[in-house]
Structure 1
Amino acid sequence: MLSVDKVRKEKDFKLLLKDVTFQVDEGSCVGLIGPNGAGKSTLMKMISGLEHPTSGTINVLGQEVGKWSVKKLAQKVSVLTQDGLSPYPMTVYEAVLMGRYPHLSFFQREGLEDYRKVEHVLNITGLMSMRHQMLDTLSGGERQRVAIAKAMVQEPEVLLLDEPTSYLDIGYKVNVLNLVKDWQQREQLTILMVLHDLNLAAQYCDQMILMNNGEIVKRGNSEEIMDVDTLETVYKAKPEIIRHPKSNIPQILL
């Protein structure tokens, strides 16, 4: 579904990524974790087609990213950043409807089926009561929920999330990630997300890729990644590992 093979990225005579290789299987959720400057966001920009690798290849759905047209790539891949939707003076409904644009021809207008998809997504994301509200009247967490609804209407096969919960309080963090997880399980969506919160990554990701200094340090499930020695080496801080009282997933305290 998504493969990264020996990707290197050099910029301004600095090596940002060094021979990064991994795959994300169809229907799985993989978390990219690591300290600031590890190369996570640089990698996400290249996977989404915003930047090009110095060497190596990135394939989405069996084709190199650079060979997709912008519109075709937008039909297959949706990207959600930590900034989400800007507070433009448009309604929630209008913002979500924008997710249908990659599926329309140049002069084509939205049709009945597009409107039905928007109505359905507004219902399952709990946004129906806010459909007429303006984006610039919403909180950051509410706009992020609208951004997810817009991505759902886009009907991608791959979802890229770059720190989608960074500016959100704990309630909105859980709300946003629950929406994403439900979507993954309902549609067999393939997800690659950058998260700084290791506890959330352990709870919501099937696998995690730990990066540092432009390289992959370790890949595995929460049991394999949430290791005191590994995390201390990468983050320069010694965590205490405890167990979540309900899921038994390893969690860290500092």
Structure 2
Amino acid sequence: MNRLVTEHLSIGYGDRLIVDDLNLRIPDGKITALVGANGSGKSTILKTMARLLRPQSGNVLLDGKAIARMHTKEVAKELAMLPQNPVAPEGLTVSELVSYGRFPHQRGFGSFTKEDKRMINWALQVTGMMELADRSIEQMSGGQRQRAWIAMALAQGTDILFLDEPTTFLDMAHQLEVLKLLERLNQVEGRTIVIVVHDLNHAAQYAQHVVAIKQGVATYQGTPNEVITADMLRDVFGIEADIIRDPRTDAPLCIPFGLVSETEEQQRELIFS
């Protein structure tokens, strides 16, 4: 049984329906990538699965229980969410930020227990942030800041981790830094990770399961080889692309060369202009 599933999930803002009758099964112990065009509903789905948004109908089930009816702290002990572009209070140090991840486990305003301190130190170590623990967040590079936020999520001690576009606005080196960390957390720690990602080649390289969203519908689901195809790119993204094999990993690589709506003459004009 998959720990995390959605059943007939419909999500909207006011009268505008974003997602309709969504049924997903998130594979345990794998990295799942949600991909799709801008405005397709990827982040909305992720936020709803993390209980940051309430669906109009349907359920998100965690271990067979509807998370909407679970206590907030109970949910926070099972899954952690890293939103887009999180902002820390000015002057906050890395260790202070990471300690916030232990709040779901605290009772009242008590001090940190030995277990809290152990989890904070473990999260700092596994993300490579121990040496930067006393440095303020605003002094960090983009990649370091993302690792600090991931460390905070890890300190919650959850088996399920959600991340909404964690590589956005990062240069290539810092993107790889974050993706390699997530890969290690999955392979070594066995974390179930659900990530919204724009770069299809990142999804193909680092995810074992891919869900392609088109106008709020999970149109394609499966392994990268099953999902990342020329037909899917044409249907979901409206682009023409060649799919080749990565010489190192044999994962599919997407090389776009035109828009579905373009004529060949328009494409030539774009290429030679």
Name the TM-score, length of structure 2 as normaliser.
Answer: 0.89
Q: Is the 8 A contact 1:84 1:143 kept in 2?
A: no
Q: Is the 8 A contact 1:85 1:147 kept in 2?
A: no
Number of corresponding residues: 254
Q: Deviations over 1:171-215 (max 9, x none)?
A: 111111111121122232112111111000011111101111111
Q: Deviations over 1:95-119 (max 9, x none)?
A: 1111111111113210233223222
Structure 1 equivalent of residue 33 of structure 2 = 31
Secondary structure at 1:239's aligned position in 2? strand
Q: Quote the offset at 1:88 in angstroms.
A: 2.8
Q: Name the CA distance, whole Å, in 2 between partners of 1:22 and 1:171.
A: 32
Q: Quote the offset at 1:87 in angstroms.
A: 5.6
Q: Quote the offset at 1:84 in angstroms.
A: 3.4
Alignment of 1:106-121 (within 5 A): 106-121=108-123
Alignment of 1:78-89 (within 5 A): 78-86=80-88, 88-89=90-91
Structure 2 equivalent of residue 161 of structure 1 = 163
Q: Quote the offset at 1:25 in angstroms.
A: 2.5
Q: Deviations over 1:93-147 (max 9, x none)?
A: 1111111111111132102332232223222221122111111211222111101
Of 19-28 and 6-15, more deviation after overlay is shown by: 6-15
Query: Of 135, 139, 142, which residue of structure 1 is paired with 2:141?
Result: 139
Q: Is the 8 A contact 2:142 2:174 kept in 1?
A: no
Query: Of 70, 73, 77, which residue of structure 1 is paired with 2:79?
Result: 77
Structure 2 equivalent of residue 12 of structure 1 = 14
Q: Name the CA distance, whole Å, in 2 between partners of 1:211 and 1:245.
A: 28
Secondary structure at 1:105's aligned position in 2? coil
Q: Report the structure number with the largest CA radius of gyration.
A: 2
Q: Name the CA distance, whole Å, in 2 between partners of 1:82 and 1:11.
A: 19
Q: Deviations over 1:47-93 (max 9, x none)?
A: 11121111111111221111111111111110012313436311111
Structure 1: tracts of 5 or more residues without a match? none
Q: Name the CA distance, whole Å, in 2 between partners of 1:10 and 1:101.
A: 30
Query: Quick one: which amino acid aligns to residue 245 of structure 2?
Result: R
Q: Name the CA distance, whole Å, in 2 between partners of 1:222 and 1:116.
A: 37
Alignment of 1:240-251 (within 5 A): 240-251=242-253
Say yes or no: does 1:238 pair with 2:252: no
Q: Name the CA distance, whole Å, in 1 between partners of 2:84 and 2:57.
A: 27
Q: Is the 8 A contact 2:98 2:155 kept in 1?
A: yes
Identity rate, percent: 33
Alignment of 1:188-199 (within 5 A): 188-199=190-201
Structure 2 equivalent of residue 201 of structure 1 = 203
Structural RMSD (CA): 1.4
Structure 2 equivalent of residue 175 of structure 1 = 177
Secondary structure at 2:88's aligned position in 1? coil
Structure 2: tracts of 5 or more residues without a match? 257-273
Query: Quick one: which amino acid aligns to residue 123 of structure 2?
Result: V
Q: Is the 8 A contact 1:82 1:165 kept in 2?
A: no
Say yes or no: does 1:67 pair with 2:69: yes
Q: Is the 8 A contact 2:6 2:59 kept in 1?
A: yes
Q: Is the 8 A contact 1:71 1:102 kept in 2?
A: yes
Q: Name the CA distance, whole Å, in 1 between partners of 2:182 and 2:87.
A: 16
Runs of 4+ aligned residues of structure 1 deviating over 6 Å after TM superposition are none
Relative distance call for 1:144 and 1:231 in structure 2 (3 A) is same
Q: Name the CA distance, whole Å, in 1 between partners of 2:139 and 2:157.
A: 27
Structure 2 equivalent of residue 21 of structure 1 = 23
Structure 2 equivalent of residue 253 of structure 1 = 255
Q: Which has the higher contact order (CA 8 A, sep 6+)?
A: 1
Alignment of 1:206-221 (within 5 A): 206-221=208-223
Q: Name the CA distance, whole Å, in 2 between partners of 1:87 and 1:182.
A: 29
Query: Of 131, 138, 141, which residue of structure 2 is paired with 1:129?
Result: 131
